[in-house]
Structure 1
Amino acid sequence: MFSNIGFPGLILILAIALIIFGPSKLPDIGRAFGKTLKEFKSATKGLTDDDDDDHKAPKQIELTKTEQLQAPQHVPTDAVVKAESK
């Protein structure tokens, strides 16, 4: 995006910003821009993390279904004793 500006162009943009906003407002504007950029990065990271969770969740559900199919049936010991005594 800014790869074609170069160093002289960047100096020119900063000088124009200094003239327009003045030296007292420039740090506030930079701080606000930094906070906005930080929020944007955290929001996009949150979106990519949500996508990863969506892909992992069905695999976990499938594993639990296969575990349930392979799990041995648990018979209470009272039922076994009553069946043997008959």
Structure 2
Amino acid sequence: MKFLGMGVPELVIILVVVLLIFGPKNLPKLGSAIGKTVKGLRDGMNSKDEEPEVEEVVEEVVEEPKAAPKKKVVKKVVAASDDAATE
């Protein structure tokens, strides 16, 4: 009996290695996870015939108006002359 090109001895060796790696306590969890994965893949392959729902995403670009340049305020400082300061 051949499965994926492998005979019974090869499959037994693979199962023993998996048992050694994961342990007997985790094998049911591993089997359940593999089963769910295979079921999901089959459902995905079968839903290929259905047309998938497509959402159209529209992006609107809004440019903010440029801020008016700030006006510079220049203050004149008049230095007091030495003559006025001594009086």
Give the TM-score normalised by the residue count of structure 1.
Answer: 0.53
User: Which whole-Å deviations, capped at 9, do the CAs of 1:30-63 have from their partners, x for residues lacking one?
Assistant: 110000000110011001344xxxxxxxxxxxxx
Number of aligned residues = 50
1:29 matched to which residue of 2? 30
State the TM-score, normalizing by the size of structure 2: 0.52
Q: What is the root-mean-square deviation of aligned Cα atoms in Å?
A: 1.7
Distance in structure 2 (CA, Å) of the matches to 1:10 and 1:49: 37
Higher RCO (CA-CA < 8 Å; seq separation 6+): 1
**Structure 2 unmatched runs, 5+:** 52-87
Q: Which structure: greater helix fraction?
A: 1
CA distance in structure 1 between the partners assigned to 2:22 and 2:4 by the alignment: 25
List aligned pairs for 1:1-86, cutoff 5 A. Answer: 2-50=3-51
